[in-house]
Structure 1
Amino acid sequence: MTRHMFTNLLLLWSLGHHLDVNGLTYALKEQSWNNQNLSSVPQDLDVRLRRLDLSNNLIRQLHTLALPYLEQLDLSSNQLDLFSEGAFEKLAQLEQLNLSRNGLNNNLGSNSRALQVLGGLKSLDLSMNTLSYEAVRLYLKNKPSLDQLKMTGNVLTRLSHSLFKESKRLQTITIDDNLISEIEQGTFEPLSQLQTLNLAKNNLAHICDFKLPQVKYLNLSRNSVEFFVTHEDDQVYRLEILDLSYNKLLYLPVVPKMNHLKYLYLQNNMIGSLNSEPTMVSEANSLYNEIFSKKIARKNTLHSNWRLMPLVYIDLSFNHFRSFPLETLSLLSSLETLKFSDNCLQNILWNIRNYSDTEGLRQLYFHSLKNLDLQSNGLVYISPLFLGALTQIETLNLQENSLQPCGYTDHLNASLSTQPVNLNTLCVAFGQLKTLKHLNLKENNIKRLAPQAFQRTSLVSLNLAKNVHMEMQKGALEGVQTTLQSLIICEINMSSSHLSLPCLPALTQLNISNNRLDMIPSTLSCSHVGELDIRNNDFMTLNYSLIHALTMNLTVMYISGNQFNCCDSRWLTILNEMKIKLPDINETKCFSGDRNFVMTEYMKNSVLYCLPNTKAQEVHFGQISIIILFLIVLLVVLIIFSRKLCTQRSFIV
């Protein structure tokens, strides 16, 4: 028995010792000396280390590191400008090296020789070292295993085919924020595994013939690119994301005919400066002819290839479009999101060219488009034919335009008209958008919201904020009562007498802040509002029976910026009892007599602030009673005294 117990104890000790050693080994896999003001590498580092962080220190020189198992070394943000010749010789397992934000532009000869021994390196970061083309070429010698290279913020002015000739396995190259204006043919083409190429923030002026079928992500943003052209052939390109934002593009890019492009970023360019879509297409064709000495047969051959693209997202915001490129964009059969804000549109007309002799207008469709952003364009009119083409639209952002919604009877008239007349009298027939769920009409200077303005839509959220002089007519929301969940009608300068809301059983969020309201519409009692914002209005009290009804679903309520009566606060008691969140209660004030109080101060002892007036009244009436009683007694005494006096005088006589 004793022997059996001893064996068990020995087994437990052995197991515990094994766990302890393993835990210690795991703990020693990684060590950080980050931000310790070190001027040199600490001595006696454990040889079992796998990851070592020495970033954000003051190290200037690097001597031999004897860490045979080290895989990751971070020396970023030091003052390194000199490596001893054998600095990296004993780092046989090193795969990731971060040397960014140092002074590696100095001592190029000895430093590059020291780095040449790291033939197994997979990731190298040389960012922010003021490195020239020649310096980078030296540092990249003997790097056959390299698959990630980052050189952000250096001073490279050109790239050539010899730069990466010893690093054919590169998958990701980041050379943004340099001075590159020239890329020699053959620089990236031999890199068959290259998937991500970031050349943002350089001085590239054009891409004449894009020939990188292996690349999936290409970032050319913030250059000076005027055009992007690919030779039309049957080569399949793997390109999925193309970023050409913040350039000087005049035309839509001529992308590879066969591609996998899903995301195209073209914001902040000069596309649309040529006034019309036909002109833009014609000029692009001419450019292509000039570059490749070819003759484009059909009018829209280049952009007709867009039919083959699986594009789901395109950003054309902050360009110079004066007309909407209907024909070109309608070719994108998979497009789900189109950002077209901050352009120069005033009207979206149905200017479609007929390529046949048949009479009537040619109808195009945006079969997959769900999200359309047209904010800040100055739009006055949108053709019903264009709205009819948005067969799957769900979100429409029209903020900061000048559009007037039609009433339901106007919908019918607008949909029958194909010729725009007086643009000042025209309206937008939202009733055509049967799939519409989210509509933003903020800051459109809407004058009148007519009855049934959104009839036949499927609105879930509606933003009508900052339409300062808007008249909201009775029945304006008729037709969306059962679907509307979020309604914003703040900053409209509206009084309670002009706010007409129907029963909205699906409503969960209501914002009526920054108006002149003194009463919450009683029709809200049948809604399911969870968040209510009544800030900055003229409320002195709230209907406590309505508040009680709302608390069945209410979770958050914003109430500051009103002048509540401290002594008429049964509604507040109900909110507190139901534990409704009041995030701005510390900013909310109420008044009692001629004094204002912060609501929280009042809530601590409401009786104290409301009783002084009652006591004053009691004291006032008491004093009057005493004075009257005193006068009566005085009068009685005087009468008695005068009678006695008269009696005495009569007796003497």
Structure 2
Amino acid sequence: CYPHLPDFFLFLKHCYKSIFSLYSVPVDLDVRLRRLDLSNNFIRQLHTLVLPYLEQLDLSANQLDLISEGAFKNLAQLKELNLSRNALNNNLDSNSKALQSISRLQSLDISVNSLNGEAVELYLRNKSSLDQLKMTGNALTRLSHSLFKESKGLRDITIEDNTISVIEEGTFEPLSQLEMLNLAKNNLVQICDFKLHHLKYLNLSRNSLEYFFTHEDDQLYRLEILDLSFNKLLYFPIVPKMSSLRYLHLQNNMIGTLNSEATMVSEANSLYNEIIKEKIARKNNLHSNWRLMPLIYIDLSYNHFTSFPLETLSLLSSLETLNFSYNCLQNIVWNIRNHSDSSYSRQIFFPSLKHLDLQSNGLLYISPLFLNALTQIEALNLQDNSLQLCASMEHLRSSQSTQQISLNTSCIAFGRLRTLKHLNLKENKIKMLNPNTFQGTSLVSLNLARNSDMVMHEGALDSVQTTIQSLIISEINMTSSDLSLPCMPVLTELKAANNRLDIIPSSLSCSPLREIDIRNNVLMTLNHSLIHALSGNLDRIYISGNHFNCCDSKWVTVLKELQIEMPDMSDTECFTSISNMVMTEYLKNPLLYCSLHKKAQEVHFGQMFIIVLFAFVILTAFILFTRKRSSSKIQYNKKPTCYCIYMYTF
């Protein structure tokens, strides 16, 4: 932009953006420019710029390979420089000397320039004011201790997507202001000693890390976010004892491969002692450090756990969210070592855990003792497992003997989860939903989708009818006669797509529904009086994939008059005796289509009447003809007899 603005606004912010592709920097630039964006052009050489007020310069995605030594000497206010996606690996002497003349530079991006370590060191000379550095997608294989010796004020460094396999001791330690370090997508194999006390964010994802250890000391570490995802870790990391770590990403590793939790912890401690050359194993370093960690979030999805690491994770007293999806659990059993030889099972707790994701583990059984430990659980995701639900104790007592109750030990009962609000049971092959299955919970949302052929007994949702706000019962292969819903006075969302419903339950009239999804059922019409009852709150309804009767469409008119959204109306079809058509096409002229439908019905009735009448006439004629022929045969048979008698007399 190059507008004619008042001088005051021009002083605050001004910019120039080329409209056409450029092969050189324009010579007629306003010297008052504050921001200059020349990215995505074809500039190969950069000569002296006279822009004394320029603060931001973007030359990314050009073909720049030569910067004259004096190119930046008149840019006294330049603070941000983007040179990414060029060819700065050429003409290093001239290019590096040009950058050395910028004394106030705070942000530098030299990503994707095929730079090695020596080239980067040249570009970083005389950069004591540098605060942010990006070097993504270069050719760095090793980080030397002298790399940042003239840039000790760096706060944010990104060296993602290189081939770094070695980091020399002393490379980052002198950077006392460093808070964010991104080393993702490199070739690092191990972190033997993490010593960056001031760092708040560390990303080591997508390397080849096998372990991450920190020597024990009494210094406070400010690290809050540690991303070790997509590596080859076999063990939990041993983090600083005095840490501020709150978010730990360990997804897509190999943790749990060693099967038992005790083996994994023991081997991690042995390896740690070997690395720090501790001859005597003094204590459980992993657990002692984890016990002090103020972690609130940990992601352990896509690992190799075959058993749930109860003791290790229970040490995290502040943990609120645990993602344990896509592992190899079949059972969560209470395998806790007791403090004594007593046969009494020691109870541990997850006192802060609110969100637990166990999706896609192949779970068949969850110990009641584990559920008892979830004292504050609010959201539980059990999708894509093989769990069966227990009936409430009242129902069992009334329908089974004590012996039968004791045999039913493989099911899961939610009655002990009194804080539970959100439950996902999608794709569990659930066979039976007994009365008051969720008694004792405070469910707000419940997902029962894709439990094909599940039988829902009357009263199954009665115990949570006053709390449920979202109910998903899609893809259960359920008919209207199978579906029994109580009055749910706070239900705002119902998803019942891909079933065999031909009627929407009238009990929903007392629900303040805002969204309904009834796609792909066998509905021929909707009860417009029910729609009127829901109209005070209903915002959206999905209806496609049903077998609606075009000429019984008063409900469509009601929905349109009430301005209720039908997002899939253009995909919705209706049917007449003549053909099927898209609902929107029918609604353009419903009288025409329905008059044709009526005429077709009249013609059809007339044709049927004529056919029946014709058939009656033919049948009557046939009967008369048959009788007449029978009579003729009788008379014919009598004549010879009489004739014979007559001849004999004569």
Task: Choose which of 235, 254, 276 in structure 1 pairs with 2:238.
Answer: 254
Cα 1:68–1:227 shift into 2, 3 Å? same
Q: Matches of 1:411 and 1:91 in 2, distance apart?
A: 81
Number of matched pairs:
601
Q: 1:338 aligns with which of 286, 299, 322?
A: 322
Aligned partner (choices 361, 373, 390) of residue 406 of structure 1: 390
Residue-by-residue CA offset, 1:370-407 (whole Å, 9 max, x unaligned): 10010010001000110111111111111110011111
Query: Pairwise mapping of residues 96-175 of structure 1 onto structure 2 (< 5 A)?
Result: 96-175=80-159
2-structure distance, mates of 1:318, 1:371: 17
| Distance apart, 1:120 and its partner CA | 1.9
From 230, 233, 242, the counterpart of 2:214: 230
Unaligned runs of 5+ in 2: 614-650
> 1:77: Cα distance to partner?
0.6
Conserved 8 A contact 2:235-2:256 = yes
Following TM superposition, the consecutive aligned residue runs of length 4 or more in structure 1 with deviations greater than 6 angstroms are 410-413, 619-625
1:21 corresponds to: 7
Task: State the Cα distance separating 1:26 from its structure 2 match.
Answer: 4.5
- Matched with 1:387 is 371
Cα RMSD over matched residues? 2.3
- In structure 2, the partner of 1:527 is 511
Which range is displaced more, 611-620 or 259-268? 611-620
Q: Shift of residue 559 of structure 1?
A: 0.7
| Distance 1:78-1:410 versus aligned 2 partners, 3 A rule | farther
Matched, 1:59 2:43: yes
Within 2, Cα distance between the matches of 1:208 and 1:434? 44
Shift of 1:570: 2.1
The 2-side partners of 1:76 and 1:91 are apart by 18
The residue that corresponds to 2:483 in the other structure is 499
Partner of 1:212: 196
The answer to whether the 8 A contact 1:431-1:456 is kept is: yes
Aligned counterpart, 1:429: 413
Partner of 1:191: 175
Shift of 1:523: 1.1
- 1:340 touches 1:373 (CA, 8 Å); kept in 2? yes
Whether contact under 8 Å (1:221, 1:246) holds in the other structure is: yes
Residues 482/62 of structure 1: CA separation in 2 closer, same or farther (3 Å cut)? same
Give the aligned residue type for 1:535: R
Residues 338-384 of structure 1: CA deviation (Å, up to 9, x unaligned): 00000000010000011234441111111111100100100010001
Q: 1:31 aligns with which of 10, 16, 23?
A: 16
Structure 1 letter corresponding to 2:107: S
Q: Is 1:410–1:429's contact at 8 Å kept on the other side of the alignment?
A: no
Cα shift at 1:461: 0.4
Partner residue in 1 for 2:561: 577
Residues in 1 aligned to 2:150 and 2:192: alpha-carbon distance in whole angstroms = 27
- In the alignment, does 2:304 pair up with 1:320? yes
SS in 2 for 1:218: strand
Which runs of no fewer than 5 residues in structure 1 stay unpaired? Answer: 1-17, 629-653
Q: Partners in 2 of 1:620 and 1:177 — Cα distance?
A: 74
The aligned counterpart of 2:620 is none
In the alignment, what sits opposite 2:526? 542
Paired with 1:32 and 1:296, the residues of 2 have a C-alpha distance of 66
1:173 match: secondary structure: strand
Normalising by the residue count of structure 2, what TM-score does the alignment of the two structures yield? 0.89
Give, in whole Å, the separation in 2 of the partners of 1:267 and 1:99.
34
CA offsets, 1:539-576, max 9 Å, x none? 11122322222223211111110111112122222222
2-structure distance, mates of 1:510, 1:566: 25
Structure 2 counterparts to residues 608-623 of structure 1, below 5 A: 608-615=592-599
How many Å separate the matches in 2 of 1:484 and 1:24?
57
Q: Do the aligned partners of residues 619 and 480 (structure 1) sit closer, same or farther apart at CA in structure 2, a change above 3 Å counting?
A: closer
Q: TM-score, normalised by structure 1?
A: 0.89
Alpha-carbon contact 1:281-1:299 (below 8 Å) kept: no
Tell me the distance in 2 between the aligned counterparts of 1:359 and 1:620.
82
Equivalence for 2:616: none
After superposition, the C-alpha distances for 1:432-485 in whole angstroms (9 at most, x for unaligned) are 110111110111111111111111101000001111121111111121000000
- Secondary structure at the aligned position of 2:267 is classed as helix
Instruction: Work out whether 1:592 is the aligned partner of 2:591.
Output: no
Task: Choose which of 20, 24, 41 in structure 2 pairs with 1:40.
Answer: 24
What is the alpha-carbon distance in structure 1 between the residues aligned to residue 565 and residue 51 of structure 2? 57
